[in-house]
Amino acid sequence: MRMQRDIDMIVNERYAVIAAVASIMELTFMASLTVRNLDAALVRRLRIQAAENDRSAEAEHREILRIALAGREQPPLPQPLPERTPLWRVERDRSPTQAELLEQSDVRKRAMETK
């Protein structure tokens, strides 16, 4: 159980590091967005609206996106996996004795002989 707690702690720490890096990247780097296949009339309207607001078409586009997405919540960060007992882990009070192993082997041999 201790190993599973250690693994979960490492996973949680990794999520925290990923969140911190994402936050820093968001503050440090600006993403780029290319929009293709726009209708010429739409681009013309964007340029006219940008001129009316004394902005470049790119700045107007940023402002439109900012306003459109302002009320929406950001998607949540991935949550760590819940604690669970691994399927590969078998807990025993003690290891089987040599006599018990031989007995199990004999039982298997007899079962194979009867088939």
* Assigned domain for 111 exists: no
In Å, how far from its chain's centre is CA 65? 25
Number of domains in the chain: 1
* Assigned domain for 104 exists: no
Helix axes 57-69, 40-52, angle to 10 degrees: 90
* Assigned domain for 11 exists: yes
In Å, how far from its chain's centre is CA 23? 15
- CB–CB of 76/83 below 8 Å? no
pLDDT (tens digit, 9 = 90+) per residue, 22-76? Answer: 766 665 566 788 888 989 999 999 999 999 999 999 999 999 988 888 877 777 7
pLDDT (tens digit, 9 = 90+) per residue, 61-113? Answer: 999 988 888 877 777 777 776 666 555 555 555 566 777 777 877 777 777 77
Q: How far apart (Å, rounded) are the C-alpha atoms in residues 103 and 17? A: 52
Domain that includes residue 51, residue range: 2-85
Rg of the chain taking only CA atoms, in angstroms:
31
